[in-house]
Structure 1
């Protein structure tokens, strides 16, 4: 892992992978052994302020993250590609679609944030806003969004990973970006093939949330609900997730 990205595979179908708020490019590691390296070429990117790009200044917005991803695709010589995005990354992938629809083959959102953000109530907003300074808030969020059912050892590991792999300023700004940016009118009606995958134990991004947002905007939407998973299917059920992703991508 160097220069803010990780690569996997050498196939003809090019795929950008965009992580969530608590992740980085390295957060895809549990998934990689279960992907097909002969059919696909995956590139997992770090945002500014995350992972190997910690310390890189920016506005830390969805638009900037999308621009950076498109510039990176240009550097790779990728004219068309698919995008997978987890959580916040699901919002960034839709921003890429809005900015360069002719370049997107297909989209796969894993517990993806909708393009109109998240309507937090005040108590929930304070929990998430407090996560910028308080590791305990990060732990509570991860526990909540995986159904309060997973080992504390894993929760603590996820919190430490998040603290180690994001600048505080970037972490704070990206919260406002994914939660309070609304650009759904720019993607509504897009005919791009899209799959949205959620975990059965995730109360935050559920199938009902997808039906009230993604299903209204994307006529070619497929929804998959993974058993025994919450918000972090990359860690919780990587084999089932890899299967769901590639069964879709091989058709687009």
Structure 2
């Protein structure tokens, strides 16, 4: 398996993308990372990025098992995890499966281990996104507070369409939205930081307090005032600073 690596530091950080992303969706963050202290490895799920065409169950459990396989291939016995959105669910599943291997967790607008509730109208919109670029654009616009340039929205949609297989994209929606394993991580003493965007209406600070805050006694929650759901694009310098300040302590 080929990996995109940034940095040669002793602290290995496996980076997990969101539903609309890929291993290449962190590009705005890369110039700001400390490549001497940390070694970042950007992974793709089955059906995404470098793994387009690779079939599977497209489940959170399978994605987590693939992360552990990647860690073995990298020779990383212990490592930290940085997960965005759906990647936040995957990183918690990795921790639940192999807690002894995890140094720390960082979630960026992460999906809670209890999943995400939807009303019927929202579920129809999200379900239509597999076949509709317009629905993808509407979701990205909504989750960033309807405040960002259409040029960026269009680029995000293009990236999503070009870096994910349609069937994989469709299958991962119920995977991240309806997978509930929070009883397996409740009370875990792992060091964990969650970064929430003030302009994220679904996975914002209040949702993070009600979920991660209730389950992880060591949670450090930080709210970004100038971000919605995509802090790596909206506030990349601030994100790099916050993540590395936290990881540097663990």
TM-score by length of 2: 0.99
Q: How many residues align?
A: 250
The answer to whether the 8 A contact 1:20-1:89 is kept is yes
Deviation string 1:141-171 (CA, Å, 9 cap, x unpaired) is: 0000000000001101100110000001100
Q: Is 1:46 the equivalent of 2:8? A: no
Q: What CA distance in whole angstroms lies between the structure 1 residues aligned with 2:119 and 2:226?
A: 27
Structure 2: stretches of 5+ with no match in the other structure = none
CA distance in 2 between counterparts of 1:47 and 1:70 reads 12
Aligned-partner Cα distance in 2 for 1:118–1:15: 26
Residues 73-222 of structure 1: pairs in structure 2 closer than 5 A: 73-222=71-220
For residue 244 of structure 2, the aligned residue among 225, 246, 249 is 246
| SS of 1:146 mapped into structure 2 | coil
* CA RMSD, 1 decimal: 0.7
User: 3-state SS of the aligned residue for 2:159?
Assistant: helix
Whole-angstrom CA distance in 1 between matches of 2:152 and 2:199: 16
Please report how far the alpha carbon of residue 5 of structure 1 lies from its aligned counterpart in structure 2 after TM superposition: 2.5
- Corresponding residue for residue 232 of structure 2: 234
Residue 4 of structure 1: how far off its partner (Å): 4.8
- Aligned structure 1 segments of 4 or more residues deviating by more than 2 angstroms: none
Equivalent residues in 2 for 1:23-38 (5 A)? Answer: 23-38=21-36
CA distance, structure 2, for counterparts of residue 5 and residue 38 of structure 1: 18
SS at match of 2:25: helix
For each residue in 1:104-159, what CA deviation from the matched residue of structure 2 results, as whole angstroms up to 9, or x when unmatched? Answer: 00000000000010010111111100101111100000000000000001101100
Local SS of the residue matching 1:241 = helix
Gaps of 5+ in 1: none
Report the secondary structure of 2:13's partner residue: strand
